[in-house]
Chain A
Amino acid sequence: MNTLRLIVFLLAVANPFHSAALLAPGLLGSERGTRLRVVGIGAAVAAAVAIVLALVADDVLDALDVTSPTFRLGAGVVIAATGVRSALIAPKPWAEGLRGGRLSMLVPVAFPVLFTPELAVASVSYSADRGTGATVVAIAVALAVFAGLAVTGAGWSASAVATPDGSASPGARRADPWLGAAGRVMGALAVVLGIALVVDGIFDV
């Protein structure tokens, strides 16, 4: 139950729909294998960094000289603030350098699209509060969901807007509307979650 709940929390925080909407248009026209490689490696790198943070959560708190309830309070502020952004501001896709560029899986896929401030603080906070194992599983699931959405989302966008010769039309630079809408909903959920974390941080010992 703890792990399941954490997966839902991490899905809201990582917001794979928003991330997929940021990347899917840039992957238009590329081969499915290329998309899988770029997205998969990027998600793996982001997940690895987040998992490392989860593993050293207690050391992070010690280094910052804060207790876990206080960090939770700060994490809630970050998650709520970035959730507002996701809920209200339409994603502006990263279009450049995604079609097989050698480092595109690192920039912008792993950073800054996937490894975000909210994912970083959530990894530390949840690991400190709810256990490292469950947090690691939740991070992996959230970013796997992203990878699936980004690949299939790009496919949907491609089929919707591709020109007969297979290249992307100017309209393809928009995110798939379905991804964008779902990203906004998840952003709103992250706002609620962030506020709940702030309250929880205040009303903890």
Chain B
Amino acid sequence: MRRRLSLTCAAWVALAAVVRVGAVPAERCPTVDVAGLRSSAEAAAAWIEAAQADDGTYVYEYDRGTGEVIAGYNVVRHAGVTMSLYQYAAAGNDAILPAADRGLDWMLERLVRQRDFAAFAPPGEDAKLGASALLLAGLAYRRDATGDTLYDDLMREVGRFFLALQRDDGGFLAYWDPDVAAPVPELTSLYSTGEAFFGLAMLHNRFPGEGWDVATRRAAHYVATDRDEDEGQRLGPWADQWSAYALDEMKTWPLTDTDVAYARRLAARFGFYTRGEAQKRESWPQRHIRLEPARGAGFGTVVEGVTSLWRLAAVEPRLADLEAPLAERARCSAGITASRQLDATDAVRWPAADPALIDGAWYDGDRTRMDDQQHALSGLIRTEAVLTAVDAFAAGASSPVMEHS
């Protein structure tokens, strides 16, 4: 009996070890507070500002090993980075507005106007739905930050561009060909549908009564029901932070049951990614089991998604059970993000690099791309409301639900 007992104990220990290492390693969430978030966001915004050229463009990609700027540019990411600067300004950091406006001016010089709409399209290129949607989002945050209504009509023009590309099922074509003044048939994008959905929702909230909610609801239904399958995301929902932003904008409309069910699935997806990222380690064997840590752009979108859905759960009774776990995931994901950011003291490790392009950045290997800073910055900004609300609740406030900007 003693031998059998020993074998049984050994089997228990082996099973526990395998499960611990393979399935449930510790989730490490570096501590971050509001001051830490602000400091990290400030450094990220400073990186973007330092990476901006006089014409308003940004360093697209940078190699710290060689100190070289990698050739290439992406207009959607330009619009996204500029949007993140306006988000930062809307969070009370007006000093970033000149840089954001330089980024905006570069886009305004590249507008194409046809029929009754305007779209962002560099010369010789199709107008992209996604780039135009992020231009619109940037304009909306600029309006929130400054109260300036200068670009209200442009926002409506860009909104009409979305309507020109929206299909009967609520989805969107992704490109407009200015040469033939027509949409590029059948081409859609996994990314731009959520971006346009977000843009339309922002339009309705800034200009209520103009009917933007009709197209927004059609987009919401499409995203919640058919988008993932149409875009080949068989294990949906795709982790679409833009749709999470849009659902946050729609939180008081109110949402349909279909929208709520989608928000719940989306929250689960972002939660799973957060937990998985918290389990990653640089050391063996986790590095081989769970792969490398996600890049700043990738995990930054998770922080954006979690924080957006937390805002929704805080006011939507049908998602109230998610408020606390989403707050926990938001704190964790922001803590991970802040902990991976480089600072000025790291710069000495790469003598060929420009220290200003090390400090405040998230590197993937030796390279960083401008959207690494964009998504991380946006996520950090949006986490501040989560921590403030949760900390206030812990300090005795009657409810963690508060006004979320």
Q: Chain A: residues with CB nearer than 8 A to chain B?
A: 64-67, 69-71, 73-74, 77-78, 81, 94, 96-97, 107-108, 112, 117, 202-205
Contact = CB atoms under 8 A, between A and B. Distances in A.
Given A64-B26, A65-B27, A78-B19, A117 B12 contact: yes
Given A96-B1, A117-B12, A65 B19 contact: no
Contact of B28 (A65, A70, A117): A65
Contacts of B4: 94
22 contacts: A64-B24, A66-B26, A66-B27, A67-B27, A67-B328, A69-B275, A70-B279, A71-B24, A74-B19, A77-B23, A78-B15, A81-B15, A96-B1, A97-B1, A108-B5, A112-B9, A117-B12, A117-B16, A203-B268, A203-B272, A204-B268, A205-B270
Pairs of residues from A and B, 3 with the lowest C-beta to C-beta distance, nearest first: A205-B271, A65-B26, A74-B24
A69 B322 CA distance: 13
B285 interface: no
Contacts of B328: 67
B12 A204 contact: no
A205 B267 contact: yes
Contacts of A69: 271-272, 275
A115 to B, nearest CB: 10
A46 to B, nearest CB: 14
Contact of A112 (B8, B20, B24, B322): B8
Interface of B: 1, 4-5, 8-9, 12, 15-16, 19-20, 22-24, 26-28, 265, 267-272, 275, 279, 322, 325-326, 328-329
A117 B16 CA distance: 8
Contacts of B268: 203-205
Given A117-B15, A205-B271, 4 more contacts: A64-B24, A71-B24, A204-B268, A205-B325
A66 B332 CA distance: 12
B329 A205 contact: yes
B269 to A, nearest CB: 8
With most chain B CB atoms within 10 A of its CB, the pick from A70, A74, A97, A107 is A70
Contacts of B12: 112, 117
Nearest to A112: B8
Contacts of A117: 12, 15-16
Nearest to B16: A117
A77 B268 CA distance: 19
A175 B322 CA distance: 48
A161 to B, nearest CB: 22
A73 B8 contact: no
With most chain A CB atoms within 10 A of its CB, the pick from B8, B26, B28, B275 is B275
A131 B275 CA distance: 22
Contacts of B326: 205
Contact of A77 (B19, B27, B267, B325): B19
B5 A204 contact: no
B329 A203 contact: no
Contacts of A81: 15
A198 to B, nearest CB: 8
A112 B12 CA distance: 10
Contacts of B1: 94, 96-97, 107-108
A202 B265 CA distance: 11
A112 B8 CA distance: 7
Contacts of B275: 67, 69-70
B135 to A, nearest CB: 32
Contacts of B8: 112
Contact of A66 (B24, B269, B325, B329): B24
A203 B24 CA distance: 15
B27 A204 contact: no
A31 B271 CA distance: 56
A196 to B, nearest CB: 15
A70 B24 contact: yes
Contact of A73 (B16, B24, B26, B269): B24
A107 B5 contact: yes
